[in-house]
Amino acid sequence: MTTQAILLEEPTQVRVADVELDGPGPGEVRVRMGATGVCHSDVGVYTGHLPTRRPIILGHEGAGTVVDVGAGVTHLEPGDRVALSWLVQCGQCTFCRGGQAFLCAQGRSQLGNNALPGRRLPARVDGVPVNQFCGLGTFAREVVVHAGSAIKVPSTLPMTTAALIGCGVVTGFGAAVNTARVRVGESVVVVGCGGVGLNAVQGARIAGATTIIAVDLHKDRLKIAADLGATHTLLSDDQVIEHIRELTGGLGADKVIEVAGRQATVNLAVRAARRGGDVSLVGAAPEVVIEDAFTEVIMAARAVRGCLYGSSDVQHDIPMLVDLYEQGHLRLDELVTRTYAFDEVQQAIEYCSGEQGARAVVILDESLEA
């Protein structure tokens, strides 16, 4: 069958392409996309900062409706609304069975190859197979993905809201609840308040933190953070560490979650934690290092840990997040600060790269706007 997708052939060069799409093979599903979020990782591939094989269909945060299932798929059927996860979890390996499904080797293979397991590429442009970012490629009218990437959600869940759950929401919320393990009464600093960081703020609030300090360079994002549960907001400047210590009894925070992924913000995050505190790194780029590790980590007995995908088991955590949303505890609609049409993807990417608002969402099914 033929569909359309946003194809990246060279850095910063995207176009709408006609795509020949296979039917779903064993263990796969075909999904008609309803909406997709634009994440900073998409921006990194778009600019070439994150190297990858091209041509590639961008997008890894989305939701849609199942239209066909392959052999052996029994947990989904046509008509199911699904949120897509970019980290497949097989459920059978040592990591999945040991409570660390986010480390599943099958998922890492899909992520690293930008293809379905087995390096299968079901989409072709002009007869040439094209990569799907994170094995999804959600900037498309329809996609074929591994059935483990499609998590069923209620049909009443707004498609634009469902689109955010599989990346920004599960990563940010999980960073606070699963990785940092925020406890009732603790103090938490969140460094970077884009789509992921704002959900870390919400996770800290729902976990019972009593002091939640949001740090960012942009006042509009800090306002959203305050609306979502931050008790204090700080513009990042030369005095931010002193301000954090003033708000935490002179000690620093029990838990710090770093999302921006820059050298300066990682340095800030480590110093913002109290002695014996915990630092969770969500967004650090390959070139980022821990500076003065002897003084700031060893002598201060701080724990620094990596956070992959919010340390989440998506088969459990995504339904849980939906429940929290439906009960009014987790606020997601407010995260959609701008929507774009399918042919406006480049503008959506530019909006995200400008660090504006919380999340841009591209509407792929125009009937949602009716």
- What is the DSSP code string of 145-176? EEGGGEEE--TTS-HHHHHHIIIIIHHHHHII
Give the chain's largest Cα–Cα span: 63
- Number of C-alpha atoms within 13 angstroms, CB side, residue 124? 10
Question: Mean pLDDT over residues 73-78, rounded?
Answer: 95
Position 288 confidence tier, pLDDT thresholds 50, 70, 90? confident
Question: Mean pLDDT over residues 181-198, rounded?
Answer: 96
User: 364 - beta bridge partners?
Assistant: none
Decide if pLDDT at 289 tops 90. no
The fraction of the chain above a pLDDT of 90, given in percent, is 77
Q: Residue 329 carries which DSSP code?
A: S
**Rounded to whole angstroms, how far apart are CA atoms 250 and 109?**
45
Residues 6+ apart with CB under 8 A from 295: none
Closest CA to 230 of 249, 251, 245, 209: 209
Closest CA to 309 of 43, 141, 104, 36: 104
**Rounded to whole angstroms, how far apart are CA atoms 231 and 254?**
15
- Contact, 335 vs 359, CB < 8 A? yes
Residue 74: its pLDDT value, please?
94
Residue 176: its pLDDT value, please?
98
Is the pLDDT higher at 106 or at 155? Answer: 155
- Contact, 241 vs 281, CB < 8 A? no
Decide if pLDDT at 366 tops 80. no
Q: Average pLDDT over the chain, rounded to whole?
A: 93
**Rounded to whole angstroms, how far apart are CA atoms 38 and 6?**
13
Residue 280: its pLDDT value, please?
97
- Contact, 252 vs 274, CB < 8 A? yes
CA distances from 197 to 111, 121, 181, 250 (A): 22, 32, 15, 24
Question: Mean pLDDT over residues 46-66, rounded?
Answer: 91
120-171 pLDDT tens trace: 999 999 999 999 999 999 999 999 999 999 999 999 999 999 999 999 999 9
Q: Which amino acid is at 6?
A: I
Residues 6+ apart with CB under 8 A from 146: 27, 28, 29, 88, 110, 116, 117, 135
> What are 73's two structure tokens?
């798929």
- Number of C-alpha atoms within 13 angstroms, CB side, residue 81? 17
pTM exceeding 0.85: yes
Phi-psi region of 207 (alpha: psi -120 to 50; beta: other; left: phi over 0): alpha
Question: Mean pLDDT over residues 18-44, rounded?
Answer: 93
**Rounded to whole angstroms, how far apart are CA atoms 356 and 369?**
22
Decide if pLDDT at 112 tops 90. no
Residues 6+ apart with CB under 8 A from 196: 167, 168, 171, 172, 175, 259, 282, 283
**Rounded to whole angstroms, how far apart are CA atoms 8 and 160?**
23
First to last CA, the chain: 26
Decide if pLDDT at 369 tops 60. no
Residue 370: its pLDDT value, please?
41
330-348 pLDDT tens trace: 999 999 999 999 989 889 9
